[in-house]
Amino acid sequence: MSFDYEKYLRPGKLPHIWCPGCGHGIILKGLIRAIDKCRLAKNRTAIVSGIGCASRLPGYVDFNTVHTAHGRAAAFATGMKLADPELTVICVGGDGDGVAIGGNHFIHACRRNIDLTYIIMNNNIYGMTGGQFSPCTPTGAFASTTPYGNPDPVFDIARLAIGAGATFVARTTAYHALQIDKLITEGILHKGMAIIEVVDGCPTSYGRRNKFKSPSDMMTWLKDAAIPVEKTEGMSEKDLEGKIVTGILHRDETRPEYCEQYALLRERAQRKEG
Ligand X SMILES: Cc1ncc(C[n+]2csc(CCOP(=O)(O)OP(=O)(O)O)c2C)c(N)n1
Q: Where on the chain is the footprint of ligand X (CB under 6 A)?
A: 51-54, 70, 93-97, 123, 125-129, 134, 202
Three-state DSSP state, 140: coil
Question: Binding residue for ligand SF4 (CB under 6 A) from 114, 202, 218, 219?
Answer: 202
Listed in sequence order, the DSSP H helices in the chain are 24-37, 73-83, 95, 103-112, 157-164, 177-189, 215-225, 258-273
* Residue 13 in the binding site for other proteins (CB under 8 A): yes
| Residues in region 107-146 near other proteins by CB under 8 A | 107-108
Per CB under 8 A, does 211 bind other proteins? no
Beta bridge partners of 94: 121
- Cβ atoms within 10 Å of 89's Cβ, excluding its own: 27
Q: From the list ligand X, ligand SF4, other proteins, none, pick the one residue 126 interacts with, judged by a Cβ distance below 5 to 8 Å according to partner type.
A: ligand X
Binding of residue 123 to ligand SF4 (CB under 6 A): yes
- Residue 168 burial class via C-beta count within 10 angstroms: exposed 0-12, middle 13-18, buried 19 and up: buried
Smallest gap from Cβ 2 to ligand X, in A, equals 28
In angstroms, the CA 174 to CA 47 distance is 20
Is the peptide bond preceding residue 15 cis, with omega within 30 degrees of 0?
Answer: yes
Q: What CA–CA distance (Å, rounded) separates 117 from 77?
A: 10
203 binds, among ligand X, ligand SF4, other proteins, none (CB under 5 to 8 A by kind): ligand SF4
- Which range, of 62-70, 180-188, 206-214, 248-256, touches other proteins by CB under 8 A? 62-70
Q: Does 209 bind ligand SF4 (CB under 6 A)?
A: no
Site residues, ligand SF4 (CB under 6 A): 18-19, 22, 24, 53, 123, 127-128, 202-205
